[in-house]
Structures are given as C-alpha cells and as structure tokens.
Structure 1
Amino acid sequence: MRNHYLVIFILGLLLSGCVTVQLPGGKVTSAKDVEYKQPAGAFKEIASADADKSWISANTGNTISYFSECGGKSEPTLKDLENDAFAALNESKTLSSEEVNYNERAARQSRASGKLDGVPVELALIVFQKNGCNYTLTYGGLAKSFSAEAAAFEEFKNNFKAP
C-alpha cells in the first residue's frame, strides 16, 4: 500500500506543474492574491516545488493541487494546458472534456484515466486563464479510489478565486 501512496504523491507533483518555456523578456511568476479554502477531510498540505499549493489525503493518497504561471510571453490555448497536464499519463484516455465558465472566464474541465509507473490512475482538472495568468487545478488518485474524495475537489474548485 505504501508504494501506491508514493505513486499518487508523484502523480500529484507531475500533474500540478507544467513545462514552462520562458521566452526572452518574459519573467514567469506564480499568481499573487489567490483565494482558496484548503481541502477538507484527510487532506494535509505537502511541499512541492512544482505546484503553488498541494495536498495529499491520508486516507487514499489522492492529491489536490493548483499551479499558476503569470507573465510569460506565450499564450497557450486551454486545450494546450489540458494536454500538458495529461502528458504525464501513460496510455491516457480522455473520459470527458468540456468548455465551462469558471472564475468569470472560459475554462476547460476534463477527466482522464491512464497509468503512472504501471498503476491505473485518474485525473480531473480545470484549466483557465485570467489577467495574464494560466491556472491548472488538479485532482488525481488511484483509479480504484478516485471517486472516494472527488467531492473534496469540487468544493476546492468552488472556493478557488483567481485575482
């Protein structure tokens, strides 16, 4: 079981950070003044250099995180942001993907399944852009326990406010 927690921890770190390509003159920073409510229940904050904030569940090893990137010169599409997040999965299969309104902006909300280190996992995310920043909010876990704490991610999304 400990090995599964390690896989999920790695999943959270891989999926919360996107590859940054910094073009000349484009200093990339994290968003300031983001408002959110820490995920409830068994989720505890963990340190991650690849996310602005990350939490892991002591019950399942599922992770919730958000990543922001501001000030870059490139303007990726929402589909590009989605693809970057799903690129960490092997044998990925998009289960759902739709355009929604989120934080007063167009957003892409998606869910995929795949494998990480040979272990079946699922990932839910929402990506959007606001005031010169790209945001990726993720929820990931083992496929068999993914639905157990999906409500915590929904609550997290409902309380997340980008400036």
Structure 2
Amino acid sequence: MPALRDRISDIPILVEHFIKTYAEQFSRTPAPLRGPFINLLQCYHWPGNIRELENMAKRYVLLGGEEHLIPVLRGAEAVRAASPSTVDLDTPLRVQTKRAVQHLERNVILSALQTYSWNRTKTALALGISYRALLHKIKEVGLPSVRSTKPPLEQCSIQGQGKVGAP
C-alpha cells in the first residue's frame, strides 16, 4: 500500500473516520473540520503515515479542535523548510546555526500569528511563551508588530512537496 503522503485525497475521509471513532469512544462532540485545516493536513509530509494521522485525529477530539494542532503541523514543515540544502564552508557553524534558528523562529511565529489572526495573546499561549517573550521575538526576527498588509503565507499546493511556503 502506498504511503499516506502519496494518497492525500484519502486524508479527509480517513481523518473524518478517526474523529468519529474517537468522538464516540471519548463521548465528545468535536468541532467540524474546516477546509483550511484539511488543506494543512494534506500538505503535511506524514512521516508516521496512517498511525500519525490517527493520533492527530485523537488529539483533535481530546484537545477540542484544530487550534492546538496547527502549530504542530506548521512547525514541522518550518523545520523541513529551514534545513539548508547546501553547506557553506566559508561561514562558521555558530553563525549558520544562529541564522537557521532565527529563520525557523520567524516562520513558526508568523504561521502562529496568521493562524490566530494576529491575536498576540492567543499566539503566545499556543507557542507556550509569555506575551512579552512573543513581543521580543517578533521584534528580534524582524516581523511587523501589527498585522501586515502583505499577503499571508502561501498555501502549499497539493501537487507540491508538502511544504508550507515561507515568507
């Protein structure tokens, strides 16, 4: 059987099945899945295959919705996008590492801000940092302190490599 990432058209059906199963098992009524969240599920690489999707559906039911899972899905993609494709032997490792961490932090923070419609309180809570730490990080990574007029992050294409676009 092909990997889940090669059968993305099956993801909505499978996740609905798992959510229904766990909703009955735990006597919960989760919010219905929204299109953008399903698109994000289809963009994800699914290294854990069907078991990871099942676990994600279980977390969706138990945690009460997608707001707890979006940072996880986007964060994993940001890590993959931040990985350098070539090695720069002329720049010290610590400099390259600092740049990579800043790039990763910027992508994760921007994704979370956009997920929560630039509500910084909810974003800080979702990222597990204080509001003041988020404000400091926003400034440090060069993001605007208020919602930008720039278009949001590009959504990955279904035919793409499963990556969420970087700013």
TM-score of the aligned structures, taking structure 2 as reference length:
0.26
Larger Rg computed on CA atoms: 2
Of Structure 1 and Structure 2, which has the larger fraction of its residues in strand?
1
The structure whose residues are more often helix, as a share, is 2
Higher relative contact order (CA 8 A, sep 6+): 1
| TM-score normalized with structure 1 length | 0.27
